[in-house]
Amino acid sequence: MSTMERDTVTDSATLQLGALSELLAGASTHAHKDKALPILNAVLVKGEGGRISATASDRYRLIEGTIAGEGELSVSLIPLDDVKRILALLKGEGTRMDDLPVTLTRLGDVLTVSVRGNSISATLCDGKFPDTAHLLEQPLNPSGSDLGVTDTVAFNPALFADYAKVAGKGAPVTITFTGKGKLMLIGLKGDKVEWRAALMPMRVI
């Protein structure tokens, strides 16, 4: 349920502990590590229509994950340190509690995460996350790009290594090249999360 009274937003969404843990852990790998960039040193979470999504970017990579959830949650930018606190709370419930219901409640600029009587609250970032949805769309004809078979694509292996943490056990990671010098779309399959991701190629000097 979502209401607006003056400038105060009140939202509530419920989802499963295991799915939320995987969603936040995977998205947080792509958040910027520099606290001087608070908009990117965060994970954007929102929910409507029975789906909850999390998005993060460090300017070189972008990832978006989606899981099932009940209720609504307006766009909420959670600082990375608070995402880690939320993950610690969920982990504290045990690895065999994947089906436990977790409630996300937003009141104004404060988001509270509750599970089995335990809860923590986080003050959300003030600012607008970049519009990135169009970057994750599959090209209409990726095979018709101008990337030749002799072209070399370079990327930072440290950035790419995080995909092993996001992908489900034994799941492959696929790369779709969208053109010379353009971003690469990364295909990931999680255990409980539907993922979309993108990686910018590096300039070779």
Q: Give the containing element (helix H, strand E) for 9.
A: strand 8-16
Q: How far apart are the first and last CA of the chain?
A: 53
pLDDT digit string (tens) for the chain, length 205 residues: 444 443 566 899 999 999 999 999 999 999 999 999 999 999 999 999 999 999 999 999 999 999 999 999 999 999 999 999 999 999 988 767 789 999 999 999 999 999 999 999 999 999 999 998 888 886 555 555 555 555 677 777 887 889 989 998 888 888 888 877 788 899 999 999 999 999 988 766 5
The CATH fold assigned to 3-123 is: DNA Polymerase III; Chain A, domain 2 (3.10.150)
5's tokens:
């009274």
Q: Across the chain, which distance is largest between two alpha carbons, in Å?
A: 59
Listed by start position, the domains of the chain span: 3-123, 135-199
Q: Report the Cα 80 to chain-centroid distance in Å.
A: 11
- Burial (Cβ within 10 Å: 0-12, 13-18, ≥19) of residue 24: buried
